[in-house]
Chain A
Amino acid sequence: MSNIPDGLLFSESHEWVSVYDGVATIGVSDFAQAEMGDITYVELPSEGDVLAAGDEFGALESVKASSELYCPVSGTVIEVNEALESSPEIVNSDPYGAWMIKVRLSDESELSSLLSAGAYAEIAR
């Protein structure tokens, strides 16, 4: 069983979103990291990149496969987690600590289309 914390929002493409003060912090779910297996590389965007909801913002590489990352919200990237460059394995060991990007939201109304933990549990299996 994968861990799905209450209080986070989720996308159907298995990203999690936590929102504070107009900024969304985004990572991938426990289910996603378990499906991927040992993650060896995280490709992230640059600070200042402008993303629309649904845009690809990077990729995860496991030993065997790569998987694109999709930004569930629109906005500007204000910070990327550079620690993932040298320690990609923390996405496996701590998926909800290993955030990938922080995005200043341009349209907070988009949050209402994201999934609650309960709704995400229906598809994360």
Chain B
Amino acid sequence: MDASLKKTCLYDEHLALGARMSPFAGFEMPIQYSGIIAEHNAVRTACGVFDVSHMGEITLAGEDALAFINRVFTNDVSGLAPGRILYGMMCLPSGGVVDDLLVYKEFADGYLLVVNAANIEKDFDWLNRCAEGFKVSLSNDSDAWGQIALQGPASEDRLVSLLGHEELRELGFYTFTNLAAEDGSRIIVSRTGYTGEDGFEIYAAPGLIKLFWKKLLEDGVVPCGLGCRDTLRFEAGLPLYGDELSESITPVEAGLSMFCKFGKAGGFIGEEALEAQRLEGAPRKLVGIELASNAVPRATYPVETPEGVQVGVVTTGYHSISLDKSICMALVSREYSALGTSLCVRIRKGVHEGVVTGKKFYKTNYKKK
């Protein structure tokens, strides 16, 4: 394995469990332990735990923090109360996406930005470039935080067994709370995730995360790798940066306009380009496609009309574990994006017929209060 790859605080645990390891976003990460299907099903039916310590954490503070974050972030943070979280994107002036991220509102002038591992350096540079003229401080604290995601219908029970604090059951979807560890260090618990199931993400010092991981496994929680993280998020219609979003794929094309607050006070970087796309219609749209056969559509495979004209490309595809059918997300020309449109995917030598569907293939089970 490449020695330049970074290791998370749980690296030794992964090796001890016999995980299949692979490079991902500059880290050596576990792809699977017992197998992708078993891990996927554990999250859908019970509870799994993921090492997501590779994710980036950037702390933003200062008297202009709100004005600044609202300028670089597509969603509207102005009404966000402390303890609440918003999903959205940072865009280039072109409307292309620098990254998608979560913004945690910590206190009046303080925010925590949780970004994709592959983009930590790029995001930090971008934020600093955009910060000119704003009274803010930015700090890349990614190495100070370990992070695990506890996901699945039994997560609430497992979380309370782990941390105590019955009141954690009342934590609402997309909210978070702070706990103090015995050593005084800070633990953040948020009701968030990337699987389409109820669940929590826990941020703490690396040593504590290691302890939590071991205790959760002793409590019967299934260790889950990045393999099923992708099958789970895909079924739930959640985009992955690099596949469904990139500097050349806009939120409007990806169907994420609801996370762009057009017309908010002060505007946001990329708004003009995105607004034009929204009004005129984006040239391409991200759709779901369900195939009639069990052949598996994979990223980069061509999407064609029944007449054989290429009109798009697959961004992510699987033989869905929860739905037992072959489905994909694909970026296609707008005129072929209507629900029910017949489209085909070219898989090796064969052409496989399918139909355009919504992207949310699996009915999500978030606990919204």
Contacts and interface: CB of A to CB of B under 8 A. Distances in A.
A63 B294 CA distance: 12
Interface string A48-67: 00000000000101111010
Given A41-B319, A43-B348, A66 B296 contact: yes
Contacts, number: 40
- Taking residues whose C-beta sits less than 8 angstroms from the other chain, chain B's interface range is 10 to 19
13 contacts: A37-B35, A38-B36, A40-B319, A41-B294, A41-B326, A43-B348, A61-B295, A61-B319, A64-B31, A64-B227, A66-B348, A68-B348, A85-B294
A38 B319 CA distance: 11
A44 to B, nearest CB: 11
B37 A38 contact: yes
Given A61-B319, A63-B231, A63-B319, A43 B35 contact: no
Nearest to A92: B35
Contacts of A59: 348
A64 B36 contact: yes
Given A40-B319, A59-B348, A61-B319, A66 B298 contact: yes
Q: Which of A41, A59, A63 has the most CB of B within 10 A?
A: A63
A41 B296 contact: yes
Interface of B: 20, 31-32, 35-37, 40, 227, 231, 294-296, 298, 318-319, 321, 326, 348, 350
Contacts of A66: 296, 298, 348
Contacts of B31: 64
Given A40-B319, A41-B319, A61 B296 contact: yes
Q: Which of A38, A59, A62 gathers the greatest number of chain B CB atoms within 10 Å?
A: A38
* A interface SS class: strand
Given A38-B37, A61-B295, A64-B36, 7 more contacts: A37-B32, A37-B227, A38-B35, A40-B294, A61-B319, A63-B318, A63-B321
**What range describes how many residues of A lie at the interface?**
10 to 19
Nearest to B35: A38
A61 B32 CA distance: 16
Nearest to B296: A61
Interface string A27-53: 000000000011011010000000000
A89 B36 CA distance: 13
Contacts of B36: 37-38, 62-64
B295 A41 contact: yes
Interface string A1-42: 000000000000000000000000000000000000110110
A37 B231 CA distance: 14
Contacts of B298: 66
Contacts of B296: 40-41, 61, 66
A68 B348 CA distance: 9
Contacts of B294: 40-41, 85
